[in-house]
Every structure is written in structure tokens, then in C-alpha cells.
Amino acid sequence: MNDPGITESDVLSCVTSGDQLDHRGYQGNIHTGQVGEHKILVKSAAGRGPAAWLNRRMLRREYLIYERLAGISGIPRCFGYFMGRYLVLENVDAQTLRDGTITDRDGYFVEMLEIIKAIHERGIAHGDLKRKENVLVTRDSRPCLIDFGVSVFRKPGFHPFNHFRHNFSHQHDFNAWVKHKYNRNYQEISPEDAKYYQPLLIELIARHIKRAWTKLKRIFKTSTDKS
Ligand SMILES: Nc1ncnc2c1ncn2[C@@H]1O[C@H](COP(=O)(O)OP(=O)(O)O)[C@@H](O)[C@H]1O
Ligand SMILES: [Mg+2]
């Protein structure tokens, strides 16, 4: 359901004359603007032909997930999905986990875990929280989770493939929380947090590839520095 306070023309004027975020995502562009008291952020589905169709479907799916998560503190408010291609969200006053400053680390990560549990309770596993761009630090140093583009909703009934994907993403969310909390220093995980960390096979493989790649780059750099 679209918010009655925001109209199609508000959304169009944000897309045509609002500020564009310096970001090109998988689906399209992001614009920000102000409508009355609301600071809004518009995610647009771009592309042509089959790509456009797919992007619109994905963005609509993301909209439905934001709707399911309505009211959870730490998830941006969703104002609706307009004209079959614009997802309109509250523009949170925040920076990404990559750029933001956390003043109270313990409090921040306790709250982030609560948000993850709250979205899981609504049947949604995020699935892409390892990316620091999908975790925000608000101006008052609190967590906010965004980008439900690859999230998985657990379907009731017998859906083995869906349940497999959901369980995978569910664990992935907790592993992401541990990764951020401990800054990848997995050997420092407290006994209390150890129960949340169960590395998935694919994560272990990815970590080995990443380490080998970093090592290779270092070797290459030292050999070019010497020559
Ligand atoms: N509701 C929001 N409030 C503030 N910033 C946001 C919000 N949604 C997205 N952003 C910003 O836009 C960036 C891209 O958004 P995201 O939803 O992750 O798009 P994509 O699906 O293209 O990765 C984020 O990293 C963040 O900086
Ligand atoms: Mg993202």
C-alpha cells in the first residue's frame, strides 16, 4: 500500500530533479529528495527489454519484503512501490558501516543482533549482510539494515529448495554479524557469541580464495617494486 502523503508526481520529481546517489547498483539508480516532512530515497529499476523486466520484478520483490518488515526498528520505513518501477524508502540519516563511526560498539552490535532476530521472526533471511554497504550506522550510532534484494522469505508448507536457501541465508546473517563485530578476527569470538558462528562451506572456500589472491597480489607487488 502506498503512503497517501507521497504521490507519483513527488516520486517523479525526485527522480528527475532530486540528488542522485553516487551508486550504480544491480537494478538501477538511487535518488534522494524531500516530500513535506519526509526525506525519501527512490530506488529505480533500470534497463531495457528482459533486463528491465527482471529488475522491476526484483525491486517489487524487495518492496514486498520491506512491507513484511514494517514497524521493525532499524529497518527503513517503506513508502511504497510506484509506477511499477520505483521503490520509495525513508532516507535514513546514516553512513554505511564502511564509512560510519560507531561510538558504542557493544551497544551497536547488541542492537544489530536484535534486528537480525526480528527480521528472522517475520520469516525473512537477509542473505547479504556481509557487505558493509548494506549495514548502516545512523547519526546517533545505531544500526540500520537495508537492501533486501536477495533476501529469502520462508514459504510455509513443503518447499525444500526454498527452505534450503532460507536456512543458508539465515545462518549467513549470523555469520555476517560475527564478521562485523569481530572485524574478521574469528579467533577472538567470545564463548557467548560462538553459538552464532557456523561458517558455511562456501564461505570457507571464498575465504581461502581471497587469502590466496591477497598473497599473490603481495608477491606480485614486491617483485615489481624490486625491478
Ligand atoms: N533507506 C536508506 N537510507 C539511507 N541510505 C540508503 C538507504 N537505502 C540505500 N541507501 C544507500 O544507498 C546504497 C545502495 O542501496 P542498496 O539498497 O544497497 O542498493 P543496491 O541494491 O543497488 O545494492 C547503500 O549502500 C546506502 O549507502
Ligand atoms: Mg546494496
pLDDT in tens, 82-98: 999 999 999 999 999 99
Both 128 and 154 in one domain: the answer is yes
Both 113 and 156 in one domain: the answer is yes
> For position 170, what pLDDT does the model report?
97
Both 112 and 177 in one domain: the answer is yes
CA-nearest of 76, 166, 164 to 124 is 166
Both 84 and 105 in one domain: the answer is no
> For position 2, what pLDDT does the model report?
54
Ligand 1 closest atom vs CA 95:
27
Ligand 1 lined by 128 (C-beta under 6 Å) = no
**C-alpha cell of residue 208:** 581461502
Residue 54 has pLDDT above 60, yes or no: yes
Residue 78 has pLDDT above 80, yes or no: yes
Q: How far apart are CA 114 and CA 134, in angstroms?
A: 16
Three-state SS at 126: coil
81 pLDDT band, cuts 50/70/90, is very high
Q: Which ligand is nearest to the CA of 30?
A: 1
Both 166 and 108 in one domain: the answer is yes
Domain with 133 in it: what CATH number?
Answer: 1.10.510.10
> For position 194, what pLDDT does the model report?
97
Ligand 1 closest atom vs CA 96:
27
Domain for residue 2, yes or no? no
Cα of 143 to ligand 2 centre, how many Å?
15
26 pLDDT band, cuts 50/70/90, is low
Q: How far apart are CA 2 and CA 206, in angstroms?
A: 40
Number of compact structural domains in the chain: 2
23 pLDDT band, cuts 50/70/90, is confident
Domain for residue 105, yes or no? yes
Cα of 146 to ligand 1 centre, how many Å?
6
Ligand 1 lined by 21 (C-beta under 6 Å) = yes
Domain with 79 in it: what CATH number?
Answer: 3.30.200.20
Ligand 1 lined by 25 (C-beta under 6 Å) = yes
203 pLDDT band, cuts 50/70/90, is confident
Q: What is the mean pLDDT of the chain?
A: 93
Both 85 and 126 in one domain: the answer is no
**Residue 159 half-sphere exposure, CB side, CA atoms within 13 Å?**
11
Both 85 and 99 in one domain: the answer is no
Domain end among 60, 90, 120: 90
Q: What phi, psi does 11 have (nearest 5°)?
A: -65, -45
Ligand 1 closest atom vs CA 25:
22
Both 157 and 81 in one domain: the answer is no
Both 84 and 20 in one domain: the answer is yes
Percent of the chain with pLDDT over 90: 79
In whole angstroms, how far apart are CA 177 and each of 15, 115, 210?
33, 11, 19
**C-alpha cell of residue 64:** 514486498
Domain for residue 117, yes or no? yes
> 108-134: per-residue pLDDT in tens?
999 999 999 999 999 999 999 999 999
Does the pTM surpass 0.85? The reply is yes
Ligand 1 lined by 176 (C-beta under 6 Å) = no
* Average pLDDT of the segment spanning 69-89: 97
Both 61 and 141 in one domain: the answer is no
Full domain range(s) for residue 172: 94-196
